[in-house]
Structure 1
Amino acid sequence: MSSSIRAAACALMLALLGTAAQAASPPHLRKQGSATQLIVDDQPFLLLGGELHNSSASSLAYLDKLWPTLKAAELNTVLAPVEWDQIEPVEGRFDFTVLDGVLKQARAHNTRVVLLWFGAWKNSMSTYVPAWVKKDARRFPRAITRAGVAQDILTPFGAETLKADTAAFRALLAHLRQTDTQHTALMIQVENEIGMLPEVRDYSAAANAAWRAQVPAALTAYLAAHRETLQPGVKAAWESRGARSGGTWAELFGDTIETEEMFQAWHYASFVEALASAGKAAYALPMYVNVALNRPGKRPGEYPSAGPLPHLFDIWKPGAPSIDVLAIDTYFPNFIHWAKQFKRPDNPLFVPEANHAERPDAGADAFYAIGEHDAFGFSPFAIDDIKNGDSSLPQAYRVLKQLAPVINQHQGSGKVRGFKAPMSYEGVVDAAPQQVRMGGYTLNVSFNAPWEKLQPSEVQNRGGLVIQTGDDEFVVAGKGLTIVFGSDDGAQVGIEQALEGTYVNGRWAEGRWMNGDQTHQGRHIGLDGNAFTIQRVKLYRYR
């Protein structure tokens, strides 16, 4: 074969491969049973991520030096900001050089990206808007406190602000659709941790006029249609006034601080909806908003008021229907308490910003969220700080990547459960054994073996998941779990076989046979307390 023929054949092959890549659907979300999965290149994708520090992706040279650390973390996705001030330094003139470089570097390292739009708001404030926005308070008005003091926070009632932010966001999505044919970018976060400070709401003239106006019919229609499942606070406020439509916010919900927070939440959500709908019209990537959580006993304004918190889901859902996920940012010890509230039939669990990546319990949190709540993704913050020392995340991700095909197959079927000892906000660990039923079996799960004497901090670093793969067969994975199997029909349950092993390209590769001391002579399944491991277990019954 001549060199020219070979060259032509190679060019044809590359063209065909490029066509195949482009033929795959863009990333999207798809229901499977009670779960929602992220679909990438037409296959379920378990997002094992890490969020960069806010400024790490603003310099390509700086980011390039981080890749050895990111790859050592075993993640498959990086969460990276896109700054409005960096892509539109001059109004109407867009520069995507840094964004394109981030995606190029990610492709070179076989890593996907979730983009975080730092537009009008980041951590409540408006510090990532371009200079031409910052310097023109007349065109782009600020939120005002009750005392009349302007804040460094753009008001959601500014028409020009909405127009400018929407134009930039639409341009970003249009650029991705045109240039990211490899589908490196999987999702996009719309704004960042929206919330009003230091007041419950904005008291600008435009905000006060909206406060006195009629409550939008779209909200009251939603409340009427979802009356049986409304959050208690919203339901009680609305029903106390007759559960009707028509009237101002105070007339329909009461003149309270809680109503003011609902009012502010509706207008934040409406602003976000305009961005999301315009962005999806350009390129329909999955979109989510994230939220800073509220501490116990704090009033709105003492925490970032009116973000997409669980008690405001019934405001955000009808206010921003183009948003696919209301996502949790969690830095508090009571991760389990919060994770439960973000998984709803109309809201899948996605954890884009969990407590810092170097924490020793990060891996257990990932196993719990994915196993118990069908989370399609988990990502701690400050992934660029991670080291091979105390963090459990790299080892946990290595095991979860092996398990991903099995998890994706069984998600949403009721055959996957996750386990972790709950911790209160004050840091008190509840190490009591947990019991679940799975396919005719009762599983009694504890976080230490009978002979272990563990400190609460050690228990907190343990967690795992169980997948029922057959009538009498289970995959058990994680760290430090001890599982005793019982039967719903009163029969005794024995362990026919317990095999330690790994999954290699989706195929099981068995390691040690664990039927002796490792199962305490057939009494239970025990996972190593010092490492994340996998066992395949087969049971039998006897009387």
Structure 2
Amino acid sequence: MVNILRNKFLLIALLTMQFAFCQNITHLQKKGNKTQLIVNQKPFLIRGGELGNSSATSMESMETIWPKLTDMNLNTVLTPVYWELIEPEEEKFDFKLVDDLILRARKENLKLVFLWFGSWKNSMSSHAPAWVKLNQKKYPRVKDDQNKSHEILTPFSEYNLQADLNAFKKLMNHIKDFDQKEQTVIMIQVENEIGMLPTARDYHPLANEAFSKEVPKELLQYIQKNKEKLVPEFYEIWKKNGFKTSGNWAEVFGKGLHTDEIFMAWYFSKFTNQIAKAGKDIYPIPMFVNAALNAPEKKPGQYPSAGPLPHLMDVWKAGGNAVDFLAPDFYNPSFKQWNDLFTRQGDPLFIPEHRFDETAPFKGLYAIGHYEAIGFSPFSIESVADAKKEPLGKIYDLVQQLTPTIEASKGQGKMDGVLLDKENNAQIIKMGDYEFTFKHDYTLNWSDGAKAEVWPMSSAIIIEIAKDEFYIAGSGIVVTFKSLKENLNAGILKTDQGKFENEKWKTIRHFNGDQTHQGRHLRISVGDYEIQKIKLYTYD
């Protein structure tokens, strides 16, 4: 009896220690109906930038980049870790570059998100080491329907899995030993833009054998259990074929490219989840996968098929829970549409890669405000000529000042964002007792540039901080107000432009008269980047 009690107490103590360990390292936690990233036991909002694919292959190539990152007010750098560089010879590992990146990031007061360029990078296996590439017999590649091999490691090979798994485990062990105390590395992206090309599925003999077998019970049980919550695209495929719960892939989902893609998504997901789980068993920081978005007119095989895309989200989730979330990479203008798809099941939004164009800063602010994203990151962040003049840095400065307020408001229904251009020049938000009409600054006839053929994108975030009181921050917007209470008018009681110093609000200028159009609106002109604190009131 004494031994039983002793063992019980030891088990409780072990579980308590494990829980404390997980809580003290970087992790995700729910706040209201949203998700926060917790770093060093505090909420952390990623003001990110992703390096170009080869920029971090040496510290010499990085030397001129670090100042640009801090000049743009980044707090996080997304950078690849290259399988071919850390394991140039089988079982001979070199982590010097990894260590140098971590040490320099600490010096610059930056966090890191490592992108594991392992088995797949933009579908291809370009970053696998030479000893893998040169031994196709042991480490086979996918084959198309003409039996032609492509430089994509097949996910059906146990040897391929074990090679990647071994390297990733060594990497995670090293990161844990080198960085657990400081928590410089805060997340891991497992692989990169996984997808099948140029056919919808792999025709390697291992793949053909799997395709002829019954659909795994694990997938069937998941979709049965979550039948009412499945994404519509996947639900309709299953429904059209009679909601079958047994049979091979063609029998359960029907014959066609859609089934080929579902089949590949399952095996890509299983492979990736095994990699992520092995890493988390060592050091359980958040891990995610990213998706190359498909064009609607393209068929499976014409885009990187079977990746972690919204229409395949249920398949990827069924494959395991070691991957914390799926993330979109944006080279597609339909920003709202895709983000709506990625978040429709209540998942957190993180945008690890967005084309670094003139729209990126404003989309980033919108994502943080409207979707309450855990972060945003333009790609090829080092490509700018003069980082201090970049609009991204000005937007990130606003986000940095507002981060404590943003994180305190997360998941509470007290925050939103707008994204405006010439075609979509107005948006209405209801918050507190008021209706806010946000319009593009150029809707004011007297604004410079109002007659321009193309208007620059603008955006803003609004946060309710008390009854009748709000922060509005951004660029290129004009806001009017309406009371939601019947027979009452809304007016401006006070408007201040200001900034946060040591997380405390400091008023710089009190606005009235011409600056508020005699109490009619709040305005932040195109080219200005401001936080304004506004207090409203109602009158008969």
* TM-score between the two structures when normalised by the length of structure 2: 0.93
Aligned to 1:208: 208
Aligned to 1:527: 524
Aligned to 1:368: 366
Q: Secondary structure in 1 aligned to 2:455?
A: helix
How far is the alpha carbon of 1:456 from its aligned partner? 6.1
Aligned to 1:467: 463
Match runs of 1:250-269 below 5 Å = 250-269=250-269
Aligned to 1:155: 154
Say if 2:415 and 2:462, in contact at 8 Å, map to a contact too.
yes
Q: Distance in 2 between matches of 1:195 and 1:505?
A: 45
Q: Distance in 2 between matches of 1:31 and 1:344?
A: 16
Aligned to 1:227: 227
Q: Distance in 2 between matches of 1:456 and 1:388?
A: 27
Match runs of 1:87-106 below 5 Å = 87-106=86-105
Aligned to 1:487: 483
Aligned to 1:434: 427
Aligned to 2:45: 46
Say if 1:416 and 1:466, in contact at 8 Å, map to a contact too.
yes
Q: Secondary structure in 2 aligned to 1:400?
A: helix
Q: Secondary structure in 2 aligned to 1:148?
A: coil
Aligned to 1:515: 512
The letter of the residue matching 1:250 is: A
Aligned-residue sequence identity (percent) comes to 42
Aligned to 2:308: 308
Deviations 1:235-279 (A, max 9, x none): 111122221321111101101111110110110000001101100
How far is the alpha carbon of 1:64 from its aligned partner? 2.2
Aligned to 1:12: none
Say if 2:118 and 2:128, in contact at 8 Å, map to a contact too.
yes
Aligned to 2:280: 280
The letter of the residue matching 2:424 is: A
Q: Distance in 2 between matches of 1:116 and 1:349?
A: 17
Q: Secondary structure in 2 aligned to 1:250?
A: helix
Q: Distance in 2 between matches of 1:168 and 1:456?
A: 53
1:446 matches 2:444: no
Q: Distance in 2 between matches of 1:320 and 1:278?
A: 12
Say if 1:24 and 1:41, in contact at 8 Å, map to a contact too.
no
Match runs of 1:30-429 below 5 Å = 30-180=29-179, 181-356=181-356, 359-388=357-386, 391-421=390-420
Q: Distance in 1 between matches of 2:61 and 2:433?
A: 54
Q: Secondary structure in 1 aligned to 2:505?
A: strand
How far is the alpha carbon of 1:296 from its aligned partner? 2.5
Q: Distance in 1 between matches of 2:506 and 2:155?
A: 55
Q: Distance in 1 between matches of 2:22 and 2:259?
A: 48
Say if 1:218 and 1:318, in contact at 8 Å, map to a contact too.
yes
The letter of the residue matching 1:439 is: G
Structure-2 change in CA distance of 1:454 and 1:267 (3 Å): farther
CA RMSD of aligned residues (A): 1.5
How far is the alpha carbon of 1:112 from its aligned partner? 0.6
Instruction: Provide structure 1 residue ranges, at least 5 long, that are not aligned to the other structure.
Output: 1-21, 423-428
How far is the alpha carbon of 1:388 from its aligned partner? 3.2
Deviations 1:91-129 (A, max 9, x none): 112110100000011011111100000000000000101
How far is the alpha carbon of 1:24 from its aligned partner? 7.7
Say if 2:370 and 2:417, in contact at 8 Å, map to a contact too.
yes
How far is the alpha carbon of 1:458 from its aligned partner? 2.5
Q: Distance in 1 between matches of 2:468 and 2:407?
A: 20
Deviations 1:410-457 (A, max 9, x none): 0111111010027xxxxxx53241112112211111112422315464
Q: Distance in 2 between matches of 1:454 and 1:347?
A: 41
Q: Distance in 2 between matches of 1:27 and 1:406?
A: 20
Q: Distance in 2 between matches of 1:209 and 1:537?
A: 65
Runs of 4+ in 1 over 3 A off after TM superposition: 387-391, 454-457
Say if 1:473 and 1:537, in contact at 8 Å, map to a contact too.
yes
How far is the alpha carbon of 1:214 from its aligned partner? 1.0
Structure-2 change in CA distance of 1:103 and 1:24 (3 Å): farther
Say if 2:349 and 2:374, in contact at 8 Å, map to a contact too.
yes
Aligned to 1:14: none
Give the stretch that moved more between structures: 266-275 or 514-523. Answer: 514-523
The letter of the residue matching 1:528 is: S
The letter of the residue matching 1:507 is: K
Say if 2:291 and 2:309, in contact at 8 Å, map to a contact too.
yes
The letter of the residue matching 2:344 is: R
Structure-2 change in CA distance of 1:336 and 1:346 (3 Å): closer
Aligned to 1:8: none
